[in-house]
C-alpha cells in the first residue's frame, strides 16, 4: 500500500510540474505576447525605444511565473516524498531511483537559484531599463545601453534555466515510466501431480 502511495505522489508532482512548464512555455507565453501585440496594449511611463505592448505582456507573464512558482515548490515536495518512499521501501535501491534522485537535485538547485537570485535581478534590471529608456530614445541602432544589455543577458539565462528544468523533468518522467515496478513479484507455482493421465493439485495437508 505504501509503495503505491509513493508512486501516486511522485507521478502527481512530476506530471503537474512538467505539464505546467510545457503549458506555460508553449501556450501561455505566446498567447500573452501575441494578444498584447494585437490589442496594442500599453503601460504608463514606458518610453521609446521600448515597445509598450511587449512591456505590458512581460508584466502579465511575470505575474504568471510568480504564481507558478508555488506550483513548482509543491511539485518538488511531492516528487521528493515519492523518491524518499522508494529509497526506504526498496529492498535493493535501483540505479534508476538514484538517477531520478540526481535529476530531482538538479531541478531543485536550478529552481532555488532561479527564484532566489536570478529572478530578483531580472525584475530590478527591468525597472532600471524602463527608467533609462527616455535617455536612449534618440540613440542610433547598436548604441551602448548597459541596462538593456544586462537585461537581455539575464533574460537569456532565465530561459536557459527553464529549458534545463524541462529537460530534466522529461528525463525523470521517461526513466520512471520505463523502469517498471520497484519489485519483481513472482507467481506462486502450485505443484501438480500426474494421476490417471491428468494433472491434479496435491491434497491439502490438513
**What is the separation of C-alpha 90 from the centre of its chain, rounded to a whole number of angstroms?**
26
Model pLDDT, residue 201: 55
Contact between 89 and 6 (Cβ < 8 Å): yes
- Round to whole Å and give the CA distance between 40 and 36: 6
Model pLDDT, residue 102: 97
User: How many domains are contained in the chain?
Assistant: 1
- Round to whole Å and give the CA distance between 1 and 7: 10
Non-local (6+) Cβ contacts of 191 within 8 A are 201, 202
Query: Is 206 part of a structural domain of the chain?
Result: no
Question: Where does the pLDDT of residue 194 fall: very low under 50, low under 70, confident under 90, or very high at 90 and above?
Answer: very low
Residue 200: what are its φ and ψ, rounded to 5°? -130, 150
- Round to whole Å and give the CA distance between 80 and 168: 15
Model pLDDT, residue 200: 52
Question: Where does the pLDDT of residue 202 fall: very low under 50, low under 70, confident under 90, or very high at 90 and above?
Answer: low
Strand partners, 193: 200
Query: Is 30 part of a structural domain of the chain?
Result: yes
Model pLDDT, residue 139: 82
Tens of pLDDT, residues 116-160: 999 999 999 999 999 999 888 888 877 889 999 999 999 999 999
pLDDT above 60: residue 199: no
- Longest alpha-carbon distance in the chain: 104
Query: Is 205 part of a structural domain of the chain?
Result: no
- Residue entry with cell 542610433: 140
pLDDT (average), residues 176-201: 52
Query: Is 129 part of a structural domain of the chain?
Result: yes
Model pLDDT, residue 184: 42
The residue range of the domain holding 60 is 2-200
pLDDT above 90: residue 78: yes
Please state the length of the chain.
Answer: 206
Tens of pLDDT, residues 12-62: 999 999 999 999 999 999 999 999 999 999 888 888 889 999 999 999 999
Cis peptide before 126 (omega within 30 of 0): no
Q: What percent of the chain has pLDDT over 90?
A: 70
Query: Is 11 part of a structural domain of the chain?
Result: yes
Three cell numbers at 47? 518610453
- Round to whole Å and give the CA distance between 101 and 86: 10
Q: What does pTM read for this prediction?
A: 0.81
Of residues 127 and 192, more confidently modeled: 127
Nearest to 11 by CA among 108, 85, 91, 61: 85
- Round to whole Å and give the CA distance between 62 and 58: 6
**3-class SS at 200?**
strand
Query: Is 162 part of a structural domain of the chain?
Result: yes
Contact between 125 and 147 (Cβ < 8 Å): yes
Query: Is 124 part of a structural domain of the chain?
Result: yes
Query: Is 88 part of a structural domain of the chain?
Result: yes
Amino acid at each position: 500500500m505504501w509503495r503505491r502511495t509513493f508512486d501516486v505522489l511522485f507521478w502527481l508532482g512530476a506530471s503537474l510540474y512538467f505539464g505546467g512548464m510545457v503549458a506555460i512555455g508553449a501556450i501561455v507565453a505566446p498567447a500573452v505576447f501575441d494578444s498584447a501585440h494585437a490589442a496594442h496594449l500599453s503601460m504608463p511611463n514606458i518610453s521609446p525605444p521600448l515597445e509598450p505592448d511587449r512591456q505590458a505582456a512581460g508584466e502579465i507573464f511575470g505575474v504568471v511565473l510568480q504564481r507558478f512558482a508555488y506550483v513548482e515548490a509543491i511539485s518538488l515536495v511531492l516528487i521528493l516524498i515519492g523518491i524518499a518512499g522508494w529509497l526506504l521501501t526498496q529492498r535493493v535501491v535501483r540505479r534508476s531511483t538514484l538517477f531520478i534522485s540526481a535529476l530531482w537535485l538538479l531541478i531543485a538547485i536550478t529552481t532555488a537559484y532561479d527564484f532566489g537570485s536570478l529572478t530578483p535581478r531580472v525584475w530590478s534590471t527591468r525597472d532600471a531599463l524602463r527608467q533609462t529608456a527616455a535617455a536612449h530614445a534618440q540613440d542610433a541602432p547598436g548604441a551602448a545601453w548597459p541596462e538593456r544589455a544586462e537585461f537581455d543577458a539575464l533574460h537569456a539565462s532565465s530561459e536557459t534555466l527553464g529549458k534545463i528544468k524541462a529537460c530534466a523533468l522529461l528525463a525523470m518522467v521517461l526513466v520512471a515510466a520505463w523502469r517498471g515496478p520497484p519489485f519483481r513479484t513472482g507467481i506462486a507455482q502450485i505443484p501438480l501431480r500426474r494421476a490417471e493421465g491428468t494433472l491434479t493439485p496435491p491434497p491439502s495437508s490438513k
